[in-house]
Amino acid sequence: MANHKSAIKKARMSLRRNVINTKTLGEVRTVEKKLRKSIAAKTKTEALTTLSELNSRLSKAAKKGRMKKKTASRKVSRLSKLVATLQ
């Protein structure tokens, strides 16, 4: 357990940040699964709308430091390529 006042505050902040980060990344994963399902079902209109939502969530997560910018960019790129292959 933390002994100093600053260490106690840091521990509280760490727990709070962990909850926020987990929630954000969970939402991103959920939207990504939804996109992959629509790609598998070959529904292009749904895939395009879900892709734009995923792009938004990934860029926000990267901007706020929840995930690395290059990771978000790579995910968007690869999933965009999959959506583009749909007829």
- Going residue by residue through the chain, which has 87 residues, state the pLDDT in tens, using 9 for 90 and above: 788 999 999 999 999 999 999 999 999 999 999 999 999 999 999 999 999 999 999 999 999 999 999 999 999 999 999 999 997
Residue 7 parent element (H or E): helix 5-40
CA-atom Rg of the chain in angstroms: 17
Tally of domains within the chain: 1
The CATH number of the domain where 27 resides is what? 1.20.58.110
- Which helix (H) or strand (E) is 54 found in, with range? helix 44-63
d(CA 84, CA 44): 9
In whole angstroms, give the CA distance from residue 62 to residue 59: 5
pTM score of the predicted model: 0.85
**What residue numbers bound the domain in which 33 lies?**
5-84
Copy the structure tokens of residue 63. Answer: 């901007």
